[in-house]
Amino acid sequence: MRVLKTGLSLAKIPLLSTRSVTSKKVLINSCRTCSSGIVPNERIRNIGISAHIDSGKTTLTERILYYTGRIAQIHEVKGKDGVGATMDSMELERQRGITIQSAATYTMWKNHNINIIDTPGHVDFTIEVERALRVLDGAVLVLCAVGGVQCQTMTVNRQMKRYNVPFLTFINKLDRMGSNPNRALQQMRTKLNHNAAFVSIPMGLESKMRGIIDLVEERSLYFEGTFGQNLRYDEIPADFRAEAADRRQELVECVANADEALGEMFLEEKVPTIADLKAAIRRATVQRLFTPVLVGTALKNKGVQPLLDAALDYLPNPTEVKNYAILNKVEDKESSKILMDPTRDATNPFVGLAFKLEAGRFGQLTYVRVYQGCLKKGEYIYNTRTSKKVRIQRLVRLHADQMEDVEEVYSGDICALFGVDCASGDTFTSKTNSDLSMNDQDKFSKGINRFTKEDPTFRVHFDTESRETIISGMGELHLEIYSQRMEREYNCPCEMGKPKVAFRETITSPVP
């Protein structure tokens, strides 16, 4: 169950506590749009890519965008071409080769619309992962084949558990010296307590990796062409048949432990068909009872397309996740819950959540996940926290720092609004409220105001005794990045230093 705020007059209720997921079977291969031309819910996936630092999240996203035709050329995260990865749009990100802000994009794969959020791996920016997960329906957890489960992997795992987000695991960097996907899988079982099993295994490791074996379809895949864009399917090589048979049996057993229908077939010693196994993996994954594990190397262009297929096959669409809103005027918690209707039309009142803010070229950019109804350009919506009325002057869909203007968005979509005065975590509805008011401030106040709004872990206060502005955050890197952003984005250089302490003297005991 997920909770967000809605209604005529609402309290400051934190969005999302828990969430329940239905196990309704969905036809994945349907390629028809509905009569109105709107992409149906069954063909939408909202996914995030999360991992420990330097596990290859942004490189993986770059390959996904290339194979789906979203970008025409691959740029490396730490490349020497001076361009950097598409999703690392901030200049600081490209210089340091790290992701600082989560970036949103959308792409099409096999007639499905996939909204992707690439999140930072550094613990200082963990709030970016937190607020991305609260609006996503599924996720991809990336593990390094050498490092396996690391400290930030555990943090991300806890966040996924908190928001009940189903996920796939992608063991990346199989081309690295010392890669060991079997050890990574064992760590998932022991350290993270997941019922996990391979759905694909590699043919060779390190420099000898030739391709991967799909255990569900029982075939081998080779990635040919300059960037591995051409897929060639073949039989499983003789030297890998024994391992493939053992791993497939292990997969069936793990899924049978989590799924009742497959469990009955297993007990009756029936051999499941490919369709039976896929349907069982999907049901178990959506209910977070099983974690499919895929393998590959994003840098060497192997294993990315099967991951995209798995996202369509096994991760939930917006109808399979139940989202609830709470009316604050009703005292009884159960009766105050309203189930969001994910139908993609304009019949229901609009409800959306602002989950991320950033200053764009045309003012504040507000990322919004639509939970119900339709939002059209030129319409008025209401902020339930401030009771202010806002007009939607510009509505865009995002591809990193590039924008595409749209006229309307529907339930299940992720979009962005311009010129909306709000804070991260605000809920917008189509219910009537009061008018909007605006105010002006200087560069420094503007920057600090914006950073504290968009990042709850960044705090600022003024010390009247030492006459210093004190900023606090998750770590030194966190504060250093904000100081540099203040100079670059607001032309306001800041001097950083340790805070001064005002010492006082006092008489410790009475004396004559």
389 beta partners? 382
Pair of tokens at residue 434: 């009061």
3-class DSSP state of 328: coil
Whether residues 252 and 340 share a domain: the answer is no
Contacts of 149 (CB under 8 A, 6+ apart): 143, 184, 187, 188, 191, 192
Task: State residue 290's pLDDT score.
Answer: 92
Check residue 78 and report its DSSP letter: T
> What's the half-sphere exposure (Cβ side, CA atoms, 13 Å) at 447?
17
Domain that holds residue 287: 39-314
Whether residues 409 and 264 share a domain: the answer is no
Domain count, the chain: 3
Whether residues 250 and 298 share a domain: the answer is yes
Whether residues 381 and 476 share a domain: the answer is no
Task: State residue 292's pLDDT score.
Answer: 93
Q: Which of 285, 358, 292 is nearest to 317 (CA)?
A: 285
User: Any idea what the Cα angle at residue 356 is, between residues 355 and 357, rounded to 5°?
Assistant: 140
Pair of tokens at residue 96: 């340091």
Q: Has residue 280 been placed in a domain?
A: yes
Q: Has residue 354 been placed in a domain?
A: yes
> What's the half-sphere exposure (Cβ side, CA atoms, 13 Å) at 369?
27
Pair of tokens at residue 429: 């509805």
Whether residues 110 and 228 share a domain: the answer is yes
Q: With contact defined as beta carbons under 8 Å apart, do 191 and 185 qualify?
A: no
Whether residues 259 and 366 share a domain: the answer is no
Whether residues 276 and 402 share a domain: the answer is no
Report how far residue 56's alpha carbon sits from residue 303's, in angstroms, rounded to the nearest whole number: 13
Report how far residue 456's alpha carbon sits from residue 453's, in angstroms, rounded to the nearest whole number: 7
* 260-267 and 274-286 helices, crossing angle to 10°: 140
The pLDDT tens digits along the chain (512 residues) read: 444 433 333 333 333 333 443 333 333 333 333 434 577 888 888 888 887 777 787 788 888 888 888 787 777 665 555 555 565 555 665 566 665 656 678 888 888 888 887 776 666 666 767 777 778 888 899 998 888 888 888 888 888 888 888 999 999 989 888 889 999 999 999 998 999 999 999 988 888 888 899 999 889 999 888 888 888 999 988 988 999 999 999 999 999 998 888 888 888 888 888 898 999 999 999 999 999 999 999 888 888 999 999 999 999 988 888 887 777 665 555 666 777 888 888 888 888 888 877 776 667 788 888 888 888 888 888 888 777 888 888 888 876 667 788 888 888 888 888 878 888 778 888 874 323 242 323 567 778 888 888 888 888 888 777 778 888 888 888 888 888 888 888 777 788 888 877 787 888 888 88
Whether residues 274 and 370 share a domain: the answer is no
Task: State residue 171's pLDDT score.
Answer: 92
Whether residues 115 and 82 share a domain: the answer is yes
Task: State residue 35's pLDDT score.
Answer: 37
Task: State residue 124's pLDDT score.
Answer: 66
N- to C-terminal Cα separation, the chain = 69
Report how far residue 301's alpha carbon sits from residue 496's, in angstroms, rounded to the nearest whole number: 42
The domain spanning residue 472 has which CATH number? 3.30.70.870
Report how far residue 31's alpha carbon sits from residue 42's, in angstroms, rounded to the nearest whole number: 10
Q: How far is CA 229 from CA 64, 118, 258, 425, 470, in A?
A: 11, 22, 35, 39, 51
At 139, give phi and psi (nearest 5°). Answer: -150, 165
Task: State residue 339's pLDDT score.
Answer: 78
Amino acid at 16: L
